[in-house]
Amino acid sequence: MYILELLLKGNPAAIVIHQKEEEAANQAYQSVVNALKKGSPESLELTCDRTGKKVFVLTSELCGVQMTSKSGGASPMGSRTGFLAQVGS
């Protein structure tokens, strides 16, 4: 399972999207990063494989995205692994 966290401007809570396949997660991650790099407002629709819920966001409201791999092992509470692709506001 792969997790995408979309960080919103002015909101401490991230939007979390779960993807079962690595390819799908990488594709979703790249679409968010490319939209952020463009700088012009765009809309994105993503679907969570775990819940089936869909989210529709405007890229002008995003400030970053992070992708991590969820393994079966336990990790310490509050620890975030991986890197963060973030665009300055």
Contact in structure between 50 and 1 (CB atoms under 8 Å)? yes
Contact in structure between 3 and 17 (CB atoms under 8 Å)? yes
Global pTM value: 0.75
Give residue 82's identity as a one-letter amino acid code. G
Contact in structure between 40 and 46 (CB atoms under 8 Å)? no
| pLDDT band at residue 86 using 50, 70 and 90 as cut-offs | low
CA 72, CA 75: separation in Å to the nearest integer? 9
pLDDT digits (tens, 9 = 90+) for 20-55: 999 999 999 999 999 889 888 889 999 999 999 999
Helices (H), the chain: 22-38
Give residue 41's identity as a one-letter amino acid code. P
